[in-house]
Structure 1
Amino acid sequence: MPKLSRLVVAAALTVALPLTAMAAPAQAHGMSHSPAKPRIVVTQDGEVDDMDSFIRFLYYANEFDIAGIVYSSSRFHWAGNGADVAPYRWTGTEWVDHYIDLYAKLYPNLRQHADGYPTPAKLRSFYKIGNVSNVSEMTQVTEGSEWIKKVILDDKPGPLYVQAWGGLNTTARALKSIQDQFSGTGAWPSIQRKINKKVVIYNILNQDATLADYIRPNWPGIRIIDNQSQFWSFAYLWTRQVPAAYQSTLKAPYMETNFLNGHGALLEQYRTYRDGKPTRGDDENNRWRPDQNLTYDVHDFISEGDSPAYMYLFDFNGLRSSENPTYGGWGGRFAPNASGWIDTSDVNTFTGAADRAFPQTRWVADLQNDFAARADWGVTPRYRDANHNPLASVREGVDLSVKAGRPVTLHGRGSDPDGDQLAYRWWQYTDAGTYGKAVDLAVRGSAVSLTVPADAQSGQTIHLIFEVTDDGTPALKHYQRVIITVR
């Protein structure tokens, strides 16, 4: 009997946890997963990097069930109240509508390359202004807070991912309105259970005080994916975080070729270092000035520090990162803590040292090439004239249960919608697996063989990544993550 017949395909233990088991995130590491598109609410504060993150987001809008686009404030930007609070670095609220108008020009082309792009009208219907008058302001009931409240309380099942690109004050106001309405009523316990089960916050930095002062004390059961450091590798300080070997896709020649030149009016709005394009209301942010920031070339990447909030949910690439924050993917990798998960370290393959930025930076070339392809889609009306992702698969499946000491052979396969030539690679994502040590891999073409180590303990996991890369321009990838659970 072939050795492969002894493999038992089973869901990894962490994936099998139901969402109801997640009320105590410090004790349970999984996140239940649905094949449906992830449902999201974006909250942002109008910083330059929010604008760039929003441009990329529009090119990937087909990958989400978008439930809201809400303007909040932060400690970096607020509108003022026309009386005793003056505006600070305020960029206005009109730019979101303007970017959606520019998306409308791309929309007919984008639809030729992938299904599911929302209409411009639908996107506009989701755009609401929240609590913007001051940093941490959550006393006012706003259109944005009421919208988030409605989405949280609706009958659509979770998870609902609320992304904090800026402050969490509008989200906090929505939760406070729910608390004010239901606290002390007979419905309150069930409302709390529903929200704890449903809502997941992806927090970028701590951009106001409402998470610490209101949300965590009053809603301790809400799970929080907390990105406090990994985002810097895709933000203003990227030259300090991204290894030199990975920086080429963030440098001016790549940016100009793939995004800034000849890719339509939306990407003409994309901000880069020293580009000579000031941001109305935020002129004191001088990164646009050609005579400043001379360590960067004109048109070097500037920042998309908020993009990891939605790239975490990119399941189309096969990395399965949304199944469990500890798995890692284009939106970073996280370790459990008392309120959910906090960003953690991977071993930097260039230095051999633990590096808190590396869970993000290891993917930077792949995610930039992927975005470059979508930038092409926006200005290419015929499918055959652009590049599209290949498809990877593994014959034996992606969740296997294998006894310690047993051999395993996995057969990867690839196909390409454009007929491109394909290259294959297998590698172990050692940091993501709970076995935690390197395993010898014998790779033959698109197949890999290994022996599950004899010292592996029952329940430990080994994560293998199968990559398929096409030879198109830009070169695109698709992955399959195989999780071997020791039994």
Structure 2
Amino acid sequence: MNGPIFRLLACALAIALSALPSAALAQHKHRVVILTDISNEPADQESLVRFLTYANEFDVEGIVATTGCWKKSDPDIAAIHRVIDAYEEVVPNLRRHSKDFPDAASLRAVTFSGVDGYGMEAAAKQLDNAAVNHIISLIDRDDERPVWFCAWGGGNTLAAAVMKVRMDRTQAEAEAFVAKVRGYEIALQDEGFAYIAHRYPNVKLISSELQWRGISRTTPTFNKWPETRGGNDEVFNADWVRHNVQTDHGPLGQQYLTAEYLHEGDTPSFLYLIPNGLHFPEHVDFGGWGGRFAAVRQSNIRTGTGNKTVDPLLDQHRDYAMFSDAKDSWTYEGTAYNNEFCAIFRWREAFQNDFAVRMDWCVKPYDQANHNPVAVVNGDKTRGLIELKAKAGDQLTLNAAASTDPDGDQLGYSWWIYNEPGSCSHTITIQNAKTAQPIVQVPDDATGKNFHVILTLTDDATPPLTSYRRIVVSVD
């Protein structure tokens, strides 16, 4: 940090600017509904705590207690309310860092108990459930943005809404309704998403079959899935959680439970939606904190839960296809990885540092906490996708010198090529890759291809925070 006077001035400026949400930020907010089988084990409640520390980044339009293969009845809405109650106590402090945090009353108003029962058999009998009707009203709302459903358990409450619309409306009306549905489900914990995908093949649904396991190492008592391990495990274990979340971080941190199997297996579903300049959710193959998925839908994906009751339910809705796990290649401290888990754990240090700071926001004043740098590339101050055209053999000069840090911290620049989402297989070199103004050499034989340049912009605070920009270069 660069001294108390600078920090006080930066604090005053940031508070003044945050009083009104910027137009650029509003453009990138996603409409989000959480579907959670909370209390089946600690991970859902852990994820809900983290999610609420990012509530300023989304339009939170629903938090629904649901069922799934590990909790087949009795959706636990009370557990959601306990976490919201704790959030209410820290909202005043969170708003010292961003005025966009919603009040607890608005969250309670969109909290519902979903279908009580397992799978579509239960859903078909509860089409007048309050959560089902709420979902229908959200999608029917005069808002061009789609609605993202993050399914941490089963998806039968969402599927019940689709079933009801399918019964009550014309085919064209039902198709228009489903066209606004987006979903990211963890491990297929019932057949709800398969029900929708079978009947509406163009629906944009993501099934993270196994990739979600890359979020953290399993607990010592569970100690399984060694193939999922990689990167820095020390930033997501019980000791890290105690220090950065559970202890001295207020009532919300006290709601973060101790993991039994894996920390926060459901969290990738909303990490995918955080507008940090890296993820653009309509492009499932771009990759980022919430993972990366194949650009072509995969047919008849199996459950990733290990629960033997799910696949027979899925088979009732063959054929169905959804976007699912893709592999990334990454090298960390001399170890090379090439698997689907790497698509998440390669980002672990960054998203854990970010969460640690969000928990600091729950208890610390502005001038005692860190805040994300603002990455500005070629004059573009938004967090949006930058698309450039180039000719084969060109040299592209990018300029991030206008980037700033709200706390006055020093900034580190790293420009690199994210190979997997691009179509150019040739080596692309970047000169001055650790400076604000790199030069990208377009290959001579790259005509008709594209490639992705990523700026990773990191401050020098403790813990350091990272922002990104993604530049997609299309070669004519």
Residue 137 of structure 2 is matched in structure 1 by: 150
Cα RMSD (Å): 2.1
Deviations 1:446-481 (A, max 9, x none): 2211211112131x2111111211111211111111
Distance 1:389 1:241, change over 3 A: farther
Q: 1:173 and 1:34 mapped to 2: Cα distance?
A: 30
Distance 1:197 1:244, change over 3 A: closer
Q: Which amino acid aligns with 1:138?
A: A
- Shift in Å at residue 434 of structure 1? 1.6
Residue 231 of structure 1 is matched in structure 2 by: 212
Residue 62 of structure 1 is matched in structure 2 by: 56
Q: Which runs of 5+ in 2 are unaligned?
A: 1-24, 220-224, 298-320, 381-385
Once the two structures are superposed, the pairs formed by residues 156-175 of structure 1 within 5 Å of their partners are: 156-175=143-162
Q: Which amino acid aligns with 1:385?
A: Q
Pick one of 400, 408, 413 that aligns with 1:412: 400
- Shift in Å at residue 436 of structure 1? 3.3
Q: Which amino acid aligns with 1:251?
A: N
Residue 431 of structure 2 is matched in structure 1 by: 442
Q: Is the 8 A contact 2:387 2:471 kept in 1?
A: yes
Residue 43 of structure 1 is matched in structure 2 by: 35
Q: 1:168 and 1:43 mapped to 2: Cα distance?
A: 7
Q: Is the 8 A contact 2:32 2:58 kept in 1?
A: yes
Residue 298 of structure 1 is matched in structure 2 by: none
- Shift in Å at residue 175 of structure 1? 0.9
Residue 83 of structure 1 is matched in structure 2 by: none
Deviations 1:45-83 (A, max 9, x none): 113211111110000011111111111110000226xxx
Q: 1:241 and 1:376 mapped to 2: Cα distance?
A: 33
Q: 1:230 and 1:211 mapped to 2: Cα distance?
A: 17
Deviations 1:235-255 (A, max 9, x none): 564873565541121133422
Pick one of 389, 396, 401 that aligns with 2:372: 389
Once the two structures are superposed, the pairs formed by residues 13-412 of structure 1 within 5 Å of their partners are: 35-46=27-38, 47=40, 48-79=42-73, 92-136=76-120, 137-139=122-124, 140-141=126-127, 142-182=129-169, 188-212=170-194, 214-234=195-215, 237=218, 240=226, 243=229, 245-273=231-259, 287=260, 302-315=262-275, 317-338=276-297, 339-350=321-332, 351-380=335-364, 382-395=365-378, 398-412=386-400
Deviations 1:60-113 (A, max 9, x none): 011111111111110000226xxxxxxxxx7x3311111100000000000110
Task: Report the TM-score when normalising by structure 2.
Answer: 0.81
Aligned residue pairs total: 410
Residue 18 of structure 1 is matched in structure 2 by: none
Residue 20 of structure 1 is matched in structure 2 by: none
Do structure 1's residue 452 and structure 2's residue 439 form an aligned pair?
Answer: no
Task: Report the TM-score when normalising by structure 1.
Answer: 0.80
Deviations 1:138-188 (A, max 9, x none): 121211111112212222223111221110111111111111211xxxxx1
Q: Is the 8 A contact 2:65 2:80 kept in 1?
A: no
Distance 1:34 1:340, change over 3 A: farther
Q: Is the 8 A contact 1:158 1:197 kept in 2?
A: no
- Shift in Å at residue 386 of structure 1? 1.0
Q: 2:193 and 2:152 mapped to 1: Cα distance?
A: 13
Q: Is the 8 A contact 2:139 2:181 kept in 1?
A: yes
Q: Is the 8 A contact 2:162 2:178 kept in 1?
A: no
Distance 1:36 1:366, change over 3 A: closer
Q: Secondary structure at the match of 1:155?
A: coil
Q: Which runs of 5+ in 1 are unaligned?
A: 1-32, 81-89, 183-187, 274-286, 288-292, 294-301
Q: Is the 8 A contact 1:396 1:410 kept in 2?
A: no
Q: 2:188 and 2:417 mapped to 1: Cα distance?
A: 33
Q: Is the 8 A contact 1:77 1:135 kept in 2?
A: no
Q: Which amino acid aligns with 1:464?
A: V
Q: Which amino acid aligns with 1:265?
A: P
Pick one of 465, 469, 472 that aligns with 1:480: 469
Q: 1:438 and 1:115 mapped to 2: Cα distance?
A: 44
Deviations 1:368-411 (A, max 9, x none): 0001001000011x211211111111126532100111111212
Q: 1:112 and 1:320 mapped to 2: Cα distance?
A: 26
Q: Is the 8 A contact 2:117 2:123 kept in 1?
A: no
Q: 2:229 and 2:119 mapped to 1: Cα distance?
A: 35
Q: Is the 8 A contact 2:197 2:205 kept in 1?
A: no
Deviations 1:289-331 (A, max 9, x none): xxxx8xxxxxxxx42111111111111x111432411111111
